[in-house]
Structure 1
Amino acid sequence: MIDPDGPTPLYQQLAAVLRERIDNGQLPVNRPIPSIAQLQQEFGLARGTILHAVELLREEGLVHVVRGRGTFVGKPTDQ
């Protein structure tokens, strides 16, 4: 899935994997995405790389952060 030697930056590759999981329903709306620790374990990526990927998805409106709870799929309903 992630090609560390490929031309595409790792954070973009991870964002694409998570985006695909959101699109196919593996990560449902209003449910949290895996934690940073879980993503580190699954993909073997640095914390900063994972945070960059999640920020990219947040900028795209695919996820939102709930302070003290985590990062969730979909837009917040209270905004």
Structure 2
Amino acid sequence: MKIDLDGPEPLYEQIAAVLAARIADGTYEPRRRIPSEAALCEEFKVSRPTARAAVKVLNDRGLTATVHGKGTFVVEKSTKKEK
């Protein structure tokens, strides 16, 4: 998936889509850290706020969870509903 700098979709949404696809295809495994904001900035050539917004989208969708001082981790999907 490629980032379109001139596209109608915001950059952070495009980056979030790329990261979500990597989670879906197993590139980023459950309970493993995704790249840091700094690494995302370097990879996608974007500012820190843009990288942070992309990670927030993933957190809001329940795909990742951020632990202060530790990083952002892929959430393990449960196969059955917990009581």
TM-score > 0.5, shorter chain as reference: yes
Over residues 16-58 of structure 1, what are the superposed CA-to-partner deviations in whole Å (9 max), with x where a residue is unaligned? Answer: 0000000000000000000111111111011101111111110
Deviates more, 1:16-25 or 1:35-44: 35-44
Provide the residue aligned with 2:32 in structure 1. Answer: 31
Higher gyration radius (CA): 2
Figure out how many residues of one structure are paired with residues of the other and give that number. 75
Q: How does 1:1-79 map to 2 (within 5 A)?
A: 1-74=2-75
SS in 1 for 2:72: strand
Q: TM-score, normalised by structure 2?
A: 0.86
SS in 1 for 2:55: helix
SS in 2 for 1:21: helix
5+ residue gaps, structure 2: 77-83
SS in 2 for 1:11: helix
User: How far apart, CA to CA, are the structure 2 residues paired with 1:74 and 1:38?
Assistant: 20
Deviation at 1:68, TM superposition (A): 1.6
RMSD across aligned positions (CA): 0.9
Q: TM-score, normalised by structure 1?
A: 0.91
The one-letter code sitting in structure 1 at the alignment partner of 2:39 is Q
